[in-house]
Amino acid sequence: MNPYVQWVIQNPLLSAAVQFGLLGTLGETISVSLKARRLRLPGTWMQTVAKIAAWALLGVVIKYGFTAMRGFTQALLDHDLLPDALGQGWGWALALSVLTNTFFGPQMMAFHRWEDNLILRRRGYAGISRAWWTLVWFWIPAHTVTFSLPKDYQIGLAALWSVALGIIMGFSRK
């Protein structure tokens, strides 16, 4: 068995925390650096360490969220509340992605903003609507691909998408 898959299977929460802690922070660092046009951390050294921990916690939240949304989507199918075509393959991946990013995504992003506010000693949710729009144009397509993969690869790819979004957001900032 592939060592990565074995590690993910044996340590589902730890692997989610490590992958998001590292890749989520990397994506944020890339975004901030592109905006500044020089290598830059997303805060002071201590804030960056706290951000790693916040991303790690978010990875665990996402692991639970993915699992819960998988059950939610299946329940809708079982009760004939979704078309049968959404029960397998790309239909399943699309249904799971749309439902996850509609029902779980906004709250998860608000939680992540709350974490950032605590770390950076800020108040408010300025820019949260911009973050929520990424659910539509980025996360639904990205997670459709993610949910088309075997479960053991999904959290890793979701964390990697954070790097991709960091690059996109870094180039798109004014």
Query: Is 1 a domain residue?
Result: no
Q: What is the pLDDT of residue 90?
A: 98
Query: Is 57 a domain residue?
Result: yes
Distance CA 154, CA 148 (A): 9
Query: Is 40 a domain residue?
Result: yes
Query: Is 4 a domain residue?
Result: no
Query: Which regions in the chain score pLDDT beneath 70?
Result: 1, 173-174
Query: Is 91 a domain residue?
Result: yes
Which tokens hold the place of 10?
């044996």
Q: What is the pLDDT of residue 172?
A: 87
Residue 65 neighbours by CB under 8 Å, 6+ apart: 100, 104, 108
The pLDDT mean for the chain works out to 96
Query: Is 8 a domain residue?
Result: no
Q: What is the pLDDT of residue 10?
A: 98
Which tokens hold the place of 49?
């360490």
The residue segments making up the domain with residue 56 are 15-172
Count of the separate structural domains present in the chain? 1
| Element housing 29 (H / E) | helix 12-36
Q: What is the pLDDT of residue 145?
A: 98
pTM here is 0.95
Residue 154 neighbours by CB under 8 Å, 6+ apart: 66, 146, 147
Query: Is 107 a domain residue?
Result: yes
